[in-house]
Structure 1
Amino acid sequence: MELAVRAAAASCSSYPLFQRARVPRRSPGLPQLPARRVAVAAAIAVDPIQDIKPEQNDVSKTEVFACPVCYEPLIRKGPPGMNLSAIYRSGFKCLKCNKSYTSKDIFLDLTVTSGAKEYSELKPARTELFRSPLVSFLYERGWRQNFNRSGFPGRDEEFQMAQDYFQSVAGGILVDVSCGSGLFARKFATSGAYSSVIALDFSENMLRQCYDYIKQDDTPLNTNLALVRADISRLPFASCSIDAIHAGAAIHCWPSPSNAVAEISRVLRPGGIFVGTTFLSSPTNSGPFSAGALRPLRQIVGPVNSSYNFFTEGELEDLCKSCGLVNYSSKVQRSFIMFSGQKP
């Protein structure tokens, strides 16, 4: 782990963040879509970017996005901007892997398996659960509200608590990882506190729900908010390119929290802030092995009452520090914890 952290830190000074290259021309306008996507395409097309000059569509430019395979910066072909319409009408390509990425399905798919026709990859049950259309539909319609029984303060208060942590990086790029249906990503986007907000999740259906909520609530389609599908353990961003990362009620669902936090540390800029919330370990959610002396037995018997990973505050602090984050702090309310670390 120490070597990985050193490599990530070294990459901050040497990573080729800026380079320009040409990619093949693409016909302007929306791509051909099946009938079920025509309505979506029309809704996005109405958005916004009326004042873009035609010649701008032919300009290749480097974005914050990076190839999830080799981490080389992706070259963008299309209109500038981080809003849904601009991303939708753009193509992204890795010149090293010669792999292309598009947002033909509302969100920009930057998973390693993007574009694969035969191969599909299943994650642990706790991850696959949230790819379910039913769970995605119910998440903001009763599921998330039940968290208050464990001490979660609620959306508005949690948002303000996170904003307090993010004060030092105001005006930068924020990524809401494991964003779910965009419960917090939408608030970050409309707050005006960030130059861009990226709502990132592995679940296709959660991202679709996020888009539906954007159309329904007061989040304008031309807000600097992008929807991205990606793996938390393979973040599609250049090293040292992100100012703030938020993970609301997420870390207990991740297949490998250590890999995920190491990735978060890699992509944060020096001074960047990571804020997460989760449920603290307790006999209720972790069974008889929640006590300190017995916790090592989890490695042998695995989770007892659920497939989720719940941690003590000490474990969360140790995890953040082992991944190179400093200035750890936390706020606890019953089983709820909001914790934060900073990239040195």
Structure 2
Amino acid sequence: MASTSAKLESTTPTGEKNKHKMHHFFISESSYRLTAEGGGRRPTIDECRMTARETPIFWPAIYRSGFKCRQCNKSYSSKDMYLDLTVTAGTTDYSEVKPARTELFRSPLVSFLYERGWRQNFNLSGFPGPDEEFKMAQEYFKPAEGGLLVDVSCGSGLFSRKFAKSGTYSGVIALDFSENMLRQCYDFIKKDETILNSNLALVRADVSRLPFSSGSVDAVHAGAALHCWPSPSNAIAEISRILRSGGVFVGTTFLRYTPSTPWFVRPLRQRTPGNYTYLIEEEIKDLCTTCGLTNYTSKVQQAFIMFSAEKP
């Protein structure tokens, strides 16, 4: 796909009124905002550029059946609850089987249980809990206040919702590869009027192929995600690409071991193909640096690590 600054072409008629009250996306050449009630002038097709740096909202990109990128001629579809920007969006006969750890989180059961017991078990490994992790992340994100935040591998939107409710950002994009995680996110959001009225978009995409223009995003968050990525190096390279100069990346994950781990235990925790990619802190720092990020910093508690790096 071409970058999201490419002109988009609607694949359905434009006369239908938007009956929904949520899921916003962005256009670049407008000073007005469309509302769920249909207020404001409807943009022309030439105005419908999905440049993520801007705050006006383009509802039809989410609620029409799809749109086409005029640069690469690729069609993308909307699933009513989220916008599907994966490579395989719209395919009918072709399908891909992802690694087991990726497919696990596409399961309806795991998606349902994630905030209903699954995530709470992270406390056993030193995770301080969502509220404290959110506060810690907000400290790192202070340079990005007022900008656009993308919550990659957002799962059921646990942190996406917190970022949106905080009012700190001009917009928040909850992005995940799992369709069922995004559906769970939708279910949580529609029960909270304060989030319904926020600048929040749900997008399906691959973290190794982020559908945003280079240098177009102010902040990227990846909560308890890095160990689930098939290729952490590709993912962090993509995150570095989309961050603007001065943009901030904050992530949390499980460490394979820490400096306090006894030496005789470490061989038992070596990485094995096909399993989760648990790294040590030196590897995370090396990845961030190699992918062009600077000012790496971190906080470690048992197997929990929150790390941050900036785009120079």
**TM-score of the pair, normalised by structure 1:** 0.77
Residue 248 in structure 1 maps to residue 216 in structure 2? no
Q: What amino acid sits opposite 1:159 in the alignment?
A: F
Partner of 2:48: 61
Q: Residues 19 and 144 of structure 1: is their aligned pair in 2 closer, same or farther, counting only changes over 3 Å?
A: closer
Distance 1:289 1:117, change over 3 A: farther
* Equivalences for residues 120-199 of structure 1 within 5 A: 120-199=95-174
Identify if the C-alpha distance between structure 1 residues 22 and 279 changes in structure 2 by more than 3 Å, giving closer, same or farther: closer
Change (3 A) 1:60 1:121: same
2: CA distance between counterparts of 1:128 and 1:163? 30
1:216 shift after superposition: 1.9
Percent sequence identity over aligned pairs: 63
| RMSD (Å), alpha carbons | 3.1
Task: Indicate which of 7, 14, 35 corresponds to 1:27.
Answer: 14
TM score, norm. by length of structure 2: 0.85
TM alignment of 1:234-313, pairs within 5 A: 234-282=209-257, 291=266, 298=271, 302-303=272-273, 307-313=275-281
Give how far 1:87 is off.
2.8
Q: Distance in 1 between matches of 2:96 and 2:264?
A: 31
Q: Whole-Å Cα distance in 2 between the matches of residues 256 and 330 of structure 1? A: 21
| Gap change, CA 1:267 and 1:90, over 3 Å in 2 | farther
Residue 290 to residue 260, structure 1, CA distance change in 2 (3 Å) = farther
Q: Which runs of 5+ in 1 are unaligned?
A: 1-14, 32-40, 66-79
Q: 1:205 to 1:58 in 2, by over 3 A?
A: same
Unpaired stretches in structure 2, ≥5 consecutive residues:
24-33
| Shift of residue 106, structure 1, vs aligned partner | 1.1
Offset at residue 142 of structure 1 (A): 0.4
- Whether the aligned pair in 1 keeps the contact of 2:296 and 2:308 (CA below 8 Å) is yes
Q: How many residues align?
A: 296
Indicate which of 77, 81, 87 corresponds to 1:102.
Answer: 77
Corresponding residue for residue 337 of structure 1: 305
Deviations 1:34-81 (A, max 9, x none): xxxxxxx76769x9522523544666321126xxxxxxxxxxxxxx51
In the TM superposition, residue 217 of structure 1 has moved relative to its aligned partner by 3.1
With over 3 angstroms needed to count, the CA separation of the structure-2 counterparts of 1:82 and 1:140, relative to structure 1, is farther
Contact 2:66 2:76 in 1 (8 A): yes
**1:321 paired residue number:** 289
